[in-house]
Structure 1
Amino acid sequence: MSEALVRQHSPLAAAASAGPVRRSVYVLLAVAASVYVIGPVLRAAALPDIRADLGLTPGDVATAEVIIVAVGVLALYGAGRAGDVWGRRRVVRWSLAALAAGYVALACSTGPTWYFTARVLVSAASAAVFITSLASVSALNLPGRMSRVVGGWIALVTALYFAAVHLARPAISVLGWRATALLLAAVAVTACAAARWALPQAAAPRAGKPIDSVLAACATAAAALGSGLYLVPVRGWTDRWVLLFLAGAAGAAAVGFLRARASGVGRDTRLGFPVRASACALASGMVLGFAQFLVPAIVTPLTLGSGASLTGSTVAVSAFSVGGIAACLTVQRRSVTPLTGCSVGFPMAAVGLVLLRDVPGSGWASVGMCSFAAALTGFGLMTAMVPQLAAFLARVPRSRLGASAALHPTAVLLGAAVAQALDAESRLWAGIGVAALAAVVAGRPAVAMATFGVTGLQYLAVLGLAGADRANRPVTGLVCLGVGVAAGLAMLTRRQQAERLARLQRSMTALRHAVLHSVPRALGRLQLAGLYQPATADSGVGGDFVEAVHTPFGARILIGDVRGKGLAAVQTVADLLGTFRSQAHDIADLGELVCHLDRQLARSAAAGEDDELFATALIVQHDEANDSFEMVNCGHLAPLVVSSDGVREVRTSTLLPLGFGTLCALGGGPRPEPVLLPADATLVLHTDGLSEARNSSGEFYPLTERLAASASLVPEHLLGHLERDVQEWTHQLVDDIAVIALTRPGAGNPVPHGPGIAAA
């Protein structure tokens, strides 16, 4: 059973069909998950009071941060995997209960040891709540609705984070940090009770192992890497502990890579999580984490240094969240695809980051400019990130949903760790480079080039227009914004054109397969191979046609060329092939079959008011009982016989093309003529697109000579040689090419068995 069917028939998916229940469940999961992103905000606001009450030193705080990061990353994986094995409702309730206990212990702490122990418990429990909530959101949805639901869910979580940024300090000033911790414990207890009746319990896939070795190695590597990066600002890059953590991360990553290769992950996504979608989600998450640290680190000193108040600085910082919420809602309503989100979002984020490089004005003017740049950055990053995350969650198998979903928040943590490990001067341009690198990982090198190009032009504008003269800074901001808008519009237009072209190509491919069936490798006692190339690479069907069917009267092969091009030719081809497929099995006489094709095309010409509609055609029949060949040539090119003695043309009578309605008036209809084909020879039927292909000097393709130069008479190898050779002969095809090669099994040509091969 496919993954989509598993989702569709699961109890969670059944619960997803109930609108009011689904909405309340999503709200509950968003409120529970928001504790994960609100906790750091409250901790930062309460840290001065906590240090004064408990006597914490800066070294104690730094050491605790390293431990908390490592524990948080491992908790993301552990809780996600536990939800996969034991059921997510159970893990959500356990995690919320542990979170409540942690906040109670935090409120009752009397010293550094007690406080840090409670902090570790809160960090692990909040990470567990977040990842099980995210996995539950995915499990409650069908894949086609993932983008809309994930966009709305992340918008709600971000809105709660936005509220916490503005209410954290006033709440702590009024209640105190201990009472605030007790309030969060009460919220966790309430959510735990609500989860008991609100969350559906899906049947747990108990066949899976409790520990997924590949993802466990990835989580260990991420935990070691994050710990090392968080130590860098305190100890420096050359500290032995930093180097030890980084070496451990490299070792764990190597183990994960070897385990992935041994289990097949990376070669076949059916054996594990989707590798390409995982890489895109990881890249976008890392950029988001980098920007979440970078924007406050730039905006806060910039606004305060320009004379703005602390309130104004907070407003400018929270504009990043406002832009993110707007992006989530846009993705939810517009169903933005990952490629479109990447193409538009990353250049937009680069524009916002560069605008922060040289903010004009002072006071509230600086706050306004910083707010606009931060909102633009947040909107761009979330536009790129949410579709990638939704596509990733839609493709992850349910048996690994929780553990695989932990990769995204882990990437956000690592992005923030990388940002804080860099010096203040390099963070801005490093952020732009990380966004461009994420575009490359997502398979959008053009987006990366546009991001770097926009950044370079804006940097030149900053140097050329502003320099040391502050009077030019407003002009600089307008120029940078204009460059960014132009680049964004160009990327959006290009993305829309690319998507339209992709849809057109898919439609043309589907049309081609509907009109032209694949040429089988074996037909009766014949060995065949087919080649079909339209004159233009973006078209699916031209005026040439081929067909090979096995009938009670033997194998019958049809090849031909309709006059004209475009949709009219395609319609005629479909009409002819439909007639041939239906009549070839019922009409014993080959000449009478040709008459039917002639009359059908004449009727089509009369109905379409096209007096010049006709088609050349060549029909070959192989009688298996007598091992003989017959042929009727209606104005088509003579076939070629390729053997060890060379290449010769099969000379037969050439009749009028199909469509004039006169073939059956000639003495009762066409008479098939016998064709002699030695057992070691190959018969090649082709259209004029092959023999009339020209090189740069205007010379026709020497088909006879090139066939004689082929090293093999096996039809498949012979046509492979022709395809490569004609591509090297001409720089551009001006007409369609259709070729069928067939031979009888001899000593060196056994009849193959297996599936047919499609026309090239």
Structure 2
Amino acid sequence: MMDGAAAYGAGLGDSGVQTPSRRSLRLMGALLAMVAALYVAVPGGNALVEPLLREQLGLDGEDALGLRVVLLSAAVLALAVVTRAVAAWGHHAILTGSLALFCAGAVFLAGHVQLWSYLAGRLLVTVALIALTVTGLSMVPALHMPGRIRATTAGWMIAMSGGFVVSIVVASRMTSVARWQLLMAVLAAGTGAVLLLVHRCLPDTEQHLTYAKPDRVRALCRLAVLLLAAAGLQLAPLWGWEDDRVGLLLIAAAFAALLARYRARVAARSPKRRPDVADRVWAPMAVAGAMTGFTLVVLIIAVPTLVMAQGGGRPEATFALAAFGAGGVLGAVVARRASVTLVAASSLGLPLTALGLALTHIVPNGAASAALSASATLALCGFGLMLALAPLVARFLAEIPHRQLGSSVGLLPGSILLGSTAAHAIPSASGLFGPPTAADAHELLWVGTIVVAVAALLLGRPVVALSVATAAGLQYLLVRADAGPAMAVAVALAMGALVGGVVWLRSEQTGRLNRAQESAAALQRAVVRPIPRTLGLLRLAGMYAPAGADTGVGGDFLEAVRTPFGTRILIGDVRGKGLGTVQTVTDLLGCFRSQAHETAELGELAARLDRQVARAAAGCDEELFATALLVQQADHPDLLEVVNCGHVAPIALGPGGLREIDVPSLLPLGFATLDATCEAPRPAPLRLDGDTTLLLYTDGLSEARNASGEFYPIAARLTRSAPSAPDPDDLIRRLDDDVRNWTHRLNDDITLIALSQATPTPAPCA
């Protein structure tokens, strides 16, 4: 089968995307992994090496804060410019330009350390990292079908976590400015080599893409939100939270956010504009991004302080922080391999992160003990954070329309940037008042626990988040208060009762869910029976995928039976959704199963099905109808008879290529017109050669959409991916995988039947 990204590019219709080669796809994958690693490695390394550079340059706390404000403003402006530039110039141009900027910035930093060169280098590297991240994120949905974005995003998270480990280990060895300069020189040389490789081997496959023009007022409001909020949060420790200027900056940011929200609502109601990314998509992503940025800053500042306060040194602190990245790698691997829903991942991952933050307070004395304890809790934090973050990012990227990629993907780095800025707004994390103490580290960890618990409450199941918050609060009473044995026993009993209640509620919910799933499976087996592999002179394969997973039965129906009149096949779709539709499907299939054995003429069988639906419509819903396609094979293996009642035409695949069968279409079932002239409709003959496979399907396949609203192009996909004479089982399997990759969420039932002539069984030797 064709590679996912290549096939997706070929199926974009009028978007004009050229199909990249496999070599280009591998290069793009490696490049995306490098970008993900750099995104966390460079800022993390700079944060750990910054004290050495401040001493070398003679910068005090206020100077460092001013430098941070300048870099943050540059990052925000770069975010606004790059999101527009990607839409205007395409990924290739921004990618090469960003690599060139990063290389130039690393050259500045590798040279003689002076204030101007350091500031210029940091500015260039910051802008380049933002541009690389935005470009890399927008390339993921542009190169991969929505169904494969989850695996790609998990790979991105694995690279990010691995990059964090590398940055922590390398930064721990930066004991002098000279070593740091050498590292920057190596990064400059490596980036230059990658730039040459990209320029020579990576084609510009997106130069003809068209993007939606964003609302300028809304874009300016969003830029103002980031700039004003970041400035207010960064200057709050210097000016004081009670300063009127800080309040004015934050109020102005809130006003800009409200104005942007108002413009988004107006645009959504306008028929001339396509709606922006839905609230259910961007809001969770913004919360998760801000929480991630906040948590990373808290851990980088608090953990080394606590480990060193308990007798550990720089190696022990490095080991503990590296464990966070290792746990993140494991969490991303689990998210890649396991089919965990978004709510389940948030309900499990974020409480684990909050629990790890709460347990990090308990660091025992001794270098080895402190390192092992902190590394265990931080590995738990990293595992939970990446387990929750990977499905969120995947859903966000999968649901962004391609026309809005340039203006939407900046939400993730922007929210992470805002979260890290909020963490630096805490006085003990600002660096204005000297290195943090152990008490400051404990305060930061508790604030981080609260932030993660709030995110869990918003993104996961509230009962789990409330349990974690209660556990953290009770632990706070034990750790920070002077609790005697009586209080300890009371807290232990309360925790036991709380955990027992949560476990009991969870077990009851799991039991109800299992019973509901068993009932749905039994209902599906009773109503929609599996298609046999061989029936009469035909080889068959079928697939039934209802959009509503709660019932297991939707509005589509299919059946294949062997009767005295030959093999008869039925496929169709009832208008509507819900239990009423399920009842109609049940009645219709029951009528077909009984009448198919009693009615000699296929046209008369269609008329009886028409009367069955008409009676149901008269009793409950006058607008009820069903499309249906009836196929019959009697005595000749290469001759079929077809009656089409308003259904989509079948498709034949053979050595001559793909062709849509032109079958006369009657009105759908339910209009009581098939026998209105006292004459049953006549079936249309259809020839089925031995090297031809016939595909019957419902409109759920042809109307499956991706995030850009593009319909699934059946003919183009089958022409490129299916062999000339596919086996029915192989054809159904390919289509099932392909349509699920095209759309990450089924909005309508999909039913497929593939049939071909059965291979004759040789007669046994006498």
- The one of 148, 154, 157 equivalent to 2:151 is 148
Which residue of the other structure, out of 351, 365, 370, is the alignment partner of 2:369?
365
Within 2, Cα distance between the matches of 1:219 and 1:495? 44
Shift in Å, 1:244: 3.9
What are the superposed Cα offsets for residues 570-608 of structure 1, whole Å, 9 maximum, x if unpaired? Answer: 9677414777999999889x9xx89x99xxxxxxxxxxx
> For 2:194, which of 187, 191, 196 is the aligned residue?
191
More displaced 10-residue stretch of structure 1: 465-474 or 247-256: 465-474
Give the conservation status (yes or no) of the 8 Å contact 2:172–2:318: no
Shift of 1:360: 4.2
Q: Secondary structure at the match of 1:202?
A: coil
Matching of residue 258 in structure 1 with residue 275 in structure 2: no
Aligned length: 545
1:147-226 alignment to 2 at 5 Å?
147-171=150-174, 173=176, 175-204=178-207, 207-208=210-211, 212-213=215-216, 214-226=218-230
CA 49–352 in structure 1, closer or farther in 2 if over 3 Å, else same? closer
Among 437, 454, 458, the alignment partner of 1:437 is 454
* SS class of match (2:20): helix
CA distance in 1, matches of 2:36, 2:275: 30
CA gap of 1:49–1:483, structure 2 versus 1, over 3 A, is farther
Closer/same/farther in 2, CA of residues 579 and 503 from structure 1, 3 Å limit: same
SS at 1:15 equivalent: coil
> What is the CA-CA distance between 1:48 and the residue it aligns to?
3.5
Quote the residue 1:248 is aligned against: 252
1:396 aligned to 2:400?
A: yes
AA aligned opposite 1:300: P
- The aligned residue for residue 415 of structure 1 is 419
The answer for the alignment partner of 1:450 in structure 2 is 464
| Matches of 1:480 and 1:375, distance apart in 2 | 27
**Aligned-pair CA distance for 1:80:** 2.8
Contact 2:212 2:403 (C-alpha < 8 Å) held by counterparts: no
CA distance in 1, matches of 2:124, 2:264: 31
Among 88, 91, 94, the alignment partner of 1:91 is: 94
Of 574, 578, 590 in structure 2, the residue corresponding to residue 575 of structure 1 is: 590
Summarize the alignment of residues 417-566 of structure 1 with structure 2, pairs less than 5 Å apart. Answer: 417-422=421-426, 424=440, 426-442=443-459, 444=460, 447-461=461-475, 463=477, 468=482
Summarize the alignment of residues 227-306 of structure 1 with structure 2, pairs less than 5 Å apart. 227-264=231-268, 271-306=275-310
- 1:112 to 2:115 alignment: yes
Q: Distance in 2 between matches of 1:152 and 1:498?
A: 35
1:710 is matched with which residue? none
> What is the CA distance between 1:396 and its match in structure 2?
0.5
Matched AA of 1:54:
L
> What CA distance in whole angstroms lies between the structure 1 residues aligned with 2:497 and 2:96?
50
Q: Deviations over 1:497-556 (max 9, x none)?
A: 7876887898899999999xxxxxxxxxxxxxxxxxxxxx97979xxxxxxxxxxxxxxx
Report how far residue 181 of structure 1 moved.
2.6
Cα distance in 2 for partners of 1:337, 1:142 equals 19
What TM-score does the superposition give when structure 1 sets the normalisation length? 0.62
3-state DSSP class of the match of 1:400? helix
Q: Work out whether 1:37 is the aligned partner of 2:40.
A: yes
Contact 1:290 1:412 in 2 (8 A): yes
Q: Distance in 2 between matches of 1:406 and 1:106?
A: 27
Instruction: Indicate conservation of the 8 Å contact 2:307/2:363, yes or no.
Output: no
In 2, the alpha carbon distance for the partners of 1:437 and 1:268 equals 38
Match of 1:125? 128
Letter of the 2:474 partner, please give it.
L
User: Secondary structure at 1:65's aligned position in 2?
Assistant: helix
Instruction: Give the structure 2 partner of residue 340 of structure 1.
Output: 344
2:373 corresponds to 1:356: no
Uncovered stretches (5+) of structure 2, i.e. residues with no partner = 1-6, 428-439, 530-549, 555-581, 620-766
Tell me whether 480-489 or 124-133 shows the greater mean CA deviation. 480-489
Q: Is the 8 A contact 2:527 2:586 kept in 1?
A: no
Return the index of the structure with the highest Cα Rg.
Answer: 1
Of the three residues 4, 15, 27, the one matched with 2:20 is 15
2:632 maps to: none
Residue number in structure 2 paired with 1:135: 138
Give the conservation status (yes or no) of the 8 Å contact 1:360–1:470.
Answer: no
Cα RMSD (Å)? 4.6
The Cα of 1:416 is off from its aligned counterpart by 1.8
Change (3 A) 1:88 1:21: closer
Conserved 8 A contact 1:466-1:472: no
8 Å CA contact retained: 1:346, 1:435: yes
- Paired with 2:501 and 2:379, the residues of 1 have a C-alpha distance of 18
- AA aligned to 2:471 is L
Is 2:395 the partner of 1:379? Answer: no
Change (3 A) 1:218 1:587: same
The 8 Å contact of residues 327 and 378 in structure 2, kept in 1 or not, is answered as yes
Aligned-residue sequence identity (percent) comes to 27
Q: CA deviation at 1:163?
A: 0.8
TM norm structure 2 = 0.61
The alpha carbon displacement at 1:294 in A equals: 1.8
CA shift for structure 1 position 426: 5.0
**Most deviating of 496-505 and 159-168:** 496-505
Amino acid at match of 2:226: A
Asked if the contact 1:265–1:273 (Cα under 8 Å) also holds between the matched residues in 2, the reply is no
Partners of 1:154 and 1:203 in 2: CA distance:
25
What CA distance in whole angstroms lies between the structure 2 residues aligned with 1:473 and 1:256? 50
Secondary structure of 1:176's match? Answer: helix
